[in-house]
Structures are given as structure tokens and as C-alpha cells.
Amino acid sequence: MEKKILLTPFWLIAATFLGLGDTLYLSYEKFQGVIPGCAILNGCERVLTSVYSNVFGVPLAYIGLVFYVYMLALAVLLVIDPASKGLRFGLVTYTTIGLLLSIGFELFQYFVIGALCLYCAISAATTLVLFGLALWHWRISKNS
């Protein structure tokens, strides 16, 4: 019987590049000391200059960048071994943590800071897509 090729790891890589682009841009702007323009009136400025935009002195954009770099590594490993139970479990766990943190950050922005950041919303949406792809990969590859 011929082994089927799973495309979900490639979709994970594609979605991860979206998140990498978003957080790389925010990280670069943070490093330069520039607040990026935003389609939401004063939203990004209020969120990105807030005292809450750093955790223990580390900008959240940098933490998001690390999240996506690790996510890219997981996705590349899944291309190599898509049926690995450890990788599949790690992927679902990692994206679940990312999704819960993204939801928490978005709620925090809205209720505590009183503003929403477009770039943060893009990252949260990307994390939601990664979570959905992780669950899809788990489901279709468990019989492999």
C-alpha cells in the first residue's frame, strides 16, 4: 500500500511564515524605537507603548517571534516525520498554549488597556489557524 503524503505540515509552515512576518516587523520597530502605523485609531500606539507591552523587560513582540520560530521548527520536523506521536502531541500542546495566551492578550488589551492592536490581532488569528491545523493534523495522521 502506498503511503499518503500529508500536506498539513506544509500548511503549518505557510501559516507560521505569516506569524513570523508580523512579529518580525513588530520586533524590528520595537528595536528601532518606532511605533508602527495602525488602521485602528490610536490602538496600536496605546497597546505597544503600554506598561504591559513588556514581560520582565522583554517586549511581547520578541516573545511572539520566539513562539513562531519554534513553531516553524516543529512544522519542519513534521514534514520529516508526520506520524510522530511526540511531535503531534507537542504541536497540539504548543498551539493550545499559544491560542490561550493570544485570547488572554486580546481580552487584556480590550478590557484593561482599552485599545486593540491590529498587529496583535493578526498574530492571534494566525495562532488560531495554527491551532486548527494542529488539530486537523492530529486527526488525519493518528492512523498513519
The C-alpha angle 37, 52, 123, rounded to 5 degrees, equals: 50
d(CA 29, CA 41): 18
Burial of 55 (0-12, 13-18, 19+ CB in 10 A): exposed
Answer with the residue of higher pLDDT: 143 or 18.
Answer: 18
What does the pLDDT read at residue 36? 84
Read off the pLDDT of residues 98-139 as tens digits, 9 standing for 90 and up: 999 999 999 999 999 988 999 999 999 999 999 999 999 999
Amino acid at 86: G
- Give me the pLDDT at residue 1, please: 36
Collapsing DSSP states into helix, strand and coil, what is residue 55? strand
Q: Distance between terminal CA atoms of the chain? A: 12
pTM of the model: 0.91
- pLDDT of 48: 86
Query: CA 1 → CA 4, 6, 108, distances in Å?
Result: 9, 15, 51
pLDDT at 45: 84
- Domain residue ranges of the chain, discontinuous segments joined by +: 8-141
Q: Is there a contact between 91 and 134 (Cβ–Cβ < 8 Å)?
A: yes
Model pLDDT for residues 6-52, shown as the tens digit of each residue: 889 999 999 999 999 999 999 998 898 888 888 767 788 888 888 98
pLDDT, position 141: 83
Per-residue confidence (pLDDT) for residue 34, from 0 to 100: 86
Q: What is the Cα–Cα distance from 72 to 75, expressed in whole angstroms?
A: 5
Three-class SS state of 11: helix
CATH number, span 8-141: 1.20.1440.130
Instruction: Look at residue 102 and give its three-state secondary structure.
Output: helix
Query: What cell numbers appear for 120 in the block?
Result: 496583535
59-104 pLDDT tens trace:
999 999 999 999 999 999 999 999 899 999 999 999 999 999 999 9
